[in-house]
Amino acid sequence: MPTIDIHNPDIPDLQFVLMIGALCTSDMPTLNVPEEVRRLVFDRCWAMLHDTPPPEEPTQRVLDLRQGDEVTLEALVEVIRSTLMDQGYDQLTWESTPSETTQSNSPEVQALIDRLQKWDPVDLPPVDGASEAGNN
């Protein structure tokens, strides 16, 4: 069962904010945080980045951190931690199975994905270190 420790997540701050944002906007029924708390976390993060109210449409509830800086990132981490701790959560847990992709990729990205899917190091021929060493 995947978990994230709010106090010591063992991932960089940017990944922490993006992961919590994604979990809080997911409809994952196995997440140990109820919908009201998820919404509160997201809405507080949104308010730090925007002057407008958070969107209601689920597909629009995405944190865009491209315009932020290190101070913004630190503030988001603190907002997430304090909000979850105030609600009684020190750790997020969930059960998850891989899901199908919900968005299509651009042609440029799809070409890269196709190339990466063809690369499989398991199918490489074995390297015989002893015979190679004798050929020097």
Is residue 131 very low, low, confident or very high in pLDDT (cuts 50, 70, 90)? very low
Please compute the mean of the pLDDT values over residues 7-26 and round it to a whole number.
94
Tens digit of pLDDT for each residue in 45-104? 999 999 999 999 999 999 988 888 999 999 999 999 999 999 999 999 999 776 666 667
| Entry pTM | 0.70
Residue 109 CB-density burial (10 A; 0-12 exposed, 13-18 middle, 19+ buried) = exposed
Give the mean pLDDT of the chain: 85
Q: Where are the chain's structural domains? A: 3-93
pLDDT of residue 111: 77
What is the three-state SS of 87-113? CCCCEEECCCCCCCCCCCCCHHHHHHH
Within 13 Å of residue 49, how many CA atoms lie on the same side as its CB?
Answer: 26
List 3's β-bridge partners, or say none: 93
* Distance from C-alpha of 74 to C-alpha of 80, rounded to nearest angstrom: 10
